[in-house]
Structure 1
Amino acid sequence: MENNLEKYKNTEGCPVRNVLDRLGDKWSILIIITLGEAGTLRFNQLSHSIGDISQKMLTVTLKNLEADGLVSRKIFPQVPPRVEYTLTPVGETLLNPILTLSEWALNNMPSILASRKQYLNQ
């Protein structure tokens, strides 16, 4: 058993830590879910769909997801420039696990909130 756990020891080389570090921010998963449901969206459409994300944070998060090969960005040469975002094939493979986690969170949130409340009242 111990030998199997060695794969998590190397901080820089651990794929789990690496991916969760990138996706564990406040916005990445919401962006992936939104693009997965909508297909292709322009920047403002994506911003309005998510709601309370700042333009700067949306830009930074999209650049990170693009750098990881999860989101593609297409620029149309027109005035004003039109930019569209969509999930890449690799990003699409991440959609089902994220939707499963999202469904789990929705189903278990009442229990989690009750547990937190009970813990705080101890």
Structure 2
Amino acid sequence: GNWLSLFRNAAPYIAAFRGGTAVVHVPSWMLSEPESQNFKGLMEDVAFCSLLGLSCVVVTSIEDKLVARLRKEGIYEERPGGCTVGNQLRGVVLDERGLAIAKQEAGPARVEV
């Protein structure tokens, strides 16, 4: 059927990238409940690429959850001279407490992937 021609057309790309490595970025919004189907689809695509011989490195962002948690804890403060990290964390400087919160938020993201 139609899927056979799809694989025939994809064969040169599969051969070219087999044994290679791809980095897949998972934005933080994709880990939220309304996007769970999109996230599931992305993970299925990553698994399929692995079956085809492509090594995938999955990098997750926790920006949305981290900003929400920092605001909840009352330690989200923009300061001049802070590092630019992501879109929402511009100028934010993390102290020891903020870094501990970032580590806590990173754990569930790792488990999801």
Instruction: Give the TM-score band, short-chain normalised.
Output: under 0.3
* TM-score, L = length of structure 2: 0.22
Larger Rg belongs to: 2
| Greater relative CO (CA pairs within 8 A, separation 6+) | 2
Would you tell me which structure has more helix in proportion to its own residues? Answer: 1
* TM-score, L = length of structure 1: 0.21
